Amino acid sequence: RKEVEQDPGPFNVPEGATVAFNCTYSNSASQSFFWYRQDCRKEPKLLMSVYSSGNEDGRFTAQLNRASQYISLLIRDSKLSDSATYLCVVTTSETYKYIFGTGTRLKVLA
């Protein structure tokens, strides 16, 4: 089983739609969680950290479920510019090594 798993997609959604991605992780000692965004042929950039209490940044909401070992990202009112690959990242308290999921591709359609 991979340490971090994501549905690769692509998720094709119309503008204005709400879309949600999940990411599961296998190590219960995982400590820090992030969502990164990667545009085509660009480097990944931090979208948001994921806190235990959940957090929201504009149209984006991230949640953590430690019991079921998954994190989620919700995007409301999708824009064309949201089209990208969304990468789930997990670190553990043992190594702090960043472990990336393979990413979920999102295409927002006009």
Partner 1 sequence: GAGVSQSPSNKVTEKGKDVELRCDPISGHTALYWYRQSLGQGLEFLIYFQGNSAPDKSGLPSDRFSAERTGGSVSTLTIQRTQQEDSAVYLCASSSMDGAEAFFGQGTRLTVV
What is the Cα–Cα distance from 95 to 110, expressed in whole angstroms? 43
Select 38 or 69, whichever has its Cβ closest to partner 1. 38
Please state the closest distance from residue 59 (CB atom) to partner 1, in A: 20
- CA terminus-to-terminus distance, the chain: 37
Please state the closest distance from residue 6 (CB atom) to partner 1, in A: 9
- Among residues 23, 24, 35, 44, the one that binds partner 1 under rule CB under 8 A: 44
* φ and ψ at residue 85, rounded to 5 degrees: -105, 130
Question: How far from 24 is each of 28, 33, 82, CA to CA, in Å?
Answer: 11, 11, 22
- Would you count residue 11 as binding partner 1 (CB under 8 A)? no
* Span 64-103, contacts to partner 1 by CB under 8 A: 87, 89, 91, 93, 95-103
Strands 60-65 vs 4-6: parallel, antiparallel or unpaired: unpaired
Select 46 or 80, whichever has its Cβ closest to partner 1. 46
Tokens of 88: 């789930």
Chain residues in the site for partner 1 (CB under 8 A): 31-32, 34, 42-46, 49, 87, 89, 91, 93, 95-103
